[in-house]
Amino acid sequence: MLDIIIASTPLFLTGVFVFGLLIGSFLNVVILRLPARLEYQWQCQCQELLEIEKDANLVKPLSIATSRSQCPNCGHKISAIENIPVLSYLFLRGKCSSCKSRISRRYPIVELSTAILFLLVAMHFGPTVQTLAALGFTGILIALAGIDIDHQLLPDDLTFFLLWAGLFISLFGVFVDPVSSIIGALAGYLSLWSIYHAFRLLTGKEGMGYGDFKLMAAMGAWMGWEMLPLIILLASLVGAVVGLTLIAISRHKKSQPMPFGPYIAAAGWIGLLWGDQIISAYLHTSGLR
């Protein structure tokens, strides 16, 4: 059955799209629950380290994998029919079936965005090992971007997994060879680390977080050091355009920190799919090749 699906391009792409919808639904859970679980673990560790009595009001958050989805307003357990990606949101008209509170539009947006990005990956790489690896890469980047937007946090659980996964697949030459991957990981981390410390010395302020360094190291591990200048350039350009736009329409204060992780994630995803073509086009246009 799997061979038939892979051999048929329409069936393969349809399967990937539906799979993306399902993964997008799961990523919504990760974006919502992982920060809460990390905060709970940090609080427990602090209490244990300080040897203080555990706070009785400290409630353990829901599990990411085993706890059923529920309405954040009334606690209504969401049934399987209410948990169909995108379609359930439309059928329920964006409201909880129990308390009628508004369901965030983020849920269908993440689900549909994941499906579209998965589809683009499958169309680009076809039925190959590269597609399988790139789908995992894409899913983790979506989760990281969502969490960073909400909490200005890039969890080590995800960034380190992405880093080690990139180093691991380089052993099989999926995207780059091991030497390029290792050098890319080192160069990726040190590039933003250097910018961070130079900015702090000049201004006395912190321009970004250490999670950004780790995410850039992961990009280097997946794509090699040669792709890092393009990723940094794309992330900076997109970040500057979005930031200035938000400030112009008064949705963001100049003094308010802005997460950089989503722009690194977007630039890295573009680099994985079309980075070589972009670099070749630039070199050809500039006459360097």
User: Would you say residue 64 has pLDDT above 60?
Assistant: yes
Reading the block at residue 238, the tokens are: 């997109």
Mean per-residue pLDDT over the chain, rounded: 87
Give the pLDDT mean for 270-286.
Answer: 88
Model pTM? Answer: 0.91
Give the pLDDT mean for 25-44.
Answer: 89
Other Cβ atoms within 10 Å of 173 Cβ, number: 12
Element (DSSP H or E) covering residue 129:
helix 129-151
> pLDDT tier at 256 (50, 70, 90 boundaries)?
low
Q: How far is CA 157 from CA 163, 231, 241, 289, in A?
A: 10, 22, 30, 41
Give the pLDDT mean for 113-131.
Answer: 95
> pLDDT tier at 288 (50, 70, 90 boundaries)?
low
Q: Which positions ≥6 away from 156 have C-beta within 8 Å? A: 211, 214
Please report where in the chains the tokens 């609080």 appear, as a residue: 43
Q: Which amino acid is at 139?
A: G
Helix (H, G, I), strand (E, B) or coil at 72: coil
Of 218, 13, 9, 238, the closest CA to residue 121 belongs to 13
Reading the block at residue 279, the tokens are: 């670099």
CA atoms within 13 A on the CB side of 59: 2
